[in-house]
Amino acid sequence: MLRQSHPISFIIFMIAMISGSIYINNQIYLIISLISSVVMLHSVSSEQKNVFKELRMTALVFVAISVANPIFNHRGKTVLLFINGLPITKEAIVNGVILSLSIVSVFLWFKVFSAVMTADKIMYLVGGFSPSIAVLISMTVRFIPDFKMQWNTVKSNSVVNSVFDDSTFLNKVNSYCIIFSAFITLCLENGLQTADSMRARGFELGGRTRYSPYKFRIEDLIIIILSVFSTFVLAFWGKNVNIKFYPEIRIPRINIYLMLICAAHIITVFFTVIFYFIITRKRKRVCHEFT
């Protein structure tokens, strides 16, 4: 669903979601943000197995931070027990749980961002004011997977041609040096081919136009307005809902500010999901009519 989104509306939406998970430390808001990120990740993931893997990893991160915080942080008035003479306080435990919720939510939101914001969308956003920076970012993003694929190709060829010898440690080191030399040569050759291709297509010339497959709809404008409103609410009234942990825990009551912040977040996420679900249904219907 979100893969068909306009880059501008999506980046503003992600800024609102991530900033809320970082700035607000209220347990109600963080739970809502965590559930929203899981729903979004489920929407953008092509394989549901990957979603469960991410959730298992984030669960481990949540437990690790929740356990580690009271071990290394001994602030707080309410001492529950002593471990090797070091106090374990209730404030540190609650702080660790809230901090874990925040980190896990931000992590899942960034997973959604990396799944939707492809290199083409980054080039679209940056290319408007600096095409050179856009090309640099796009090439940097593809470097690691491209290098990994080329390394596997060179290594497979060396194994097939009986060049790779791992009988002894020195032979293995020598074989990897040969593979590394061939790998560097292949990377330099691909870089020269890319440079020649860009020069042949007039990259250095001025007055170039750019192609954009993204259409800005009225729904994108509504998403931007909702995201900006959600960020505005967070910035002005977020401090009224945050928990104070030290020297003792002070949890604010459910007030109008918390209800407004949570409502703005839920409405923004709900409208975004519904909007892109409708777009997907329309596209499937059009493709079905043509087929």
**In this structure, what token pair is assigned to residue 110?**
């960034």
Work out the number of other CB atoms within 10 angstroms of the CB of residue 39: 14
Q: What sign has the CA pseudo-torsion 155, 156, 162, 168?
A: positive
The whole-number average pLDDT for the span 274-284 is 65
3-state secondary structure 166-230: CCCHHHHHHHHHHHHHHHHHHHHHHHHHHHHHHHHCCCCCCCCCCCCCCCCCHHHHHHHHHHHHH
- pLDDT tens profile 42-64: 877 766 677 777 788 888 888 88
- pLDDT tens profile 122-178: 777 776 666 667 677 667 766 777 777 888 888 888 877 777 777 788 888 888 888
* Cα–Cα dist 193/147, whole Å: 15
Q: How confident is the prediction for the chain on average, in pLDDT?
A: 79
Q: Which pLDDT score, from 0 to 100, does residue 219 have?
A: 78
Between 159 and 99, residue with greater pLDDT: 99
Judge contact between 245 and 251, C-beta under 8 A: no
289 pLDDT tier (thresholds 50, 70, 90): low
* Cα–Cα dist 102/33, whole Å: 9
* Cα–Cα dist 281/208, whole Å: 36
The whole-number average pLDDT for the span 208-216 is 69
Model confidence, pTM: 0.71
Residues above pLDDT 90, as percent of the chain: 0
Query: Within 13 Å, how many C-alpha atoms sit on residue 100's CB side?
Result: 20
